[in-house]
Amino acid sequence: MSRKRILCFGDSNTWGYAPGMNGIPRYDEDTRWTSLLQKKLGDAYEIIEFGLCGCTSGFAYEVHNVNTNGRDLYPSILFAHVPVDFVLIMLGTNDLKKQNNWQPGDTAKNLDELISITRALNPGVQIVLAPTAILRDGFESDPEFDPATAIESSRLCAKEVAELAEKRGTLFFDTNKFVHELAFDGCHLSATAHKTLADGLADFFAAKAQ
């Protein structure tokens, strides 16, 4: 029996950014959720990890002269890995940064395009939309976010991802039911959150793949 292949497309929380860590600030394979998910699901699955720090759902936001526009990047990333059985898309946090002038509906509009692209390039794939973690106290130290609006915007963003999944008939995984804490910066997953997220996703995919 062939392995179920799952493409995970997301931002720094998919890459495994670890705030406060020296050197390359990335959690290792014993910590980040994509690696833990692979271990939990076992050899019957292949987790294809694509996380990019700063990645947006479709805004022209750049980090160190790197293109982090998910709308631009996604078709090539998906096409490089077809066929896949599942695509998990977890984007939205970087949309909320001040330079993007985010408005309610913006992330859903961009993700709607990614759904259409996915179905065109890999017909029959099961798409899983997952909101990013809702921001918590601590993010105010990042000048790219507006402290007056960012937390409420992140709640609205999560809500619109859920509504889009229902509208377009995709699967939905509620990240925030499993992420109960963030790192001190109020934005990135803690090591504990990586584990609880992996646990939730392992159960989710095991059930959906049957």
**Is residue 47 a contact partner of residue 127, using CB atoms and an 8 Å limit?**
no
| CATH number where 89 lies | 3.40.50.1110
Please state the pTM of the whole predicted model.
0.96
How far from chain centre, in Å, is Cα 163?
16
Q: Distance (Å, rounded) from C-alpha 4 to C-alpha 20?
A: 35
Using pLDDT thresholds of 50, 70 and 90, give the confidence band for residue 65. Answer: confident
What is the residue whose two structure tokens read 């705030």? 19
As for how many domains the chain has, the answer is 1
- What secondary structure letter does DSSP report for 136? -
- What secondary structure letter does DSSP report for 173? -
Span 18-51, pLDDT tens digits: 999 998 899 999 999 999 999 999 999 999 999 9
Query: What range defines the domain where residue 51 resides?
Result: 4-208
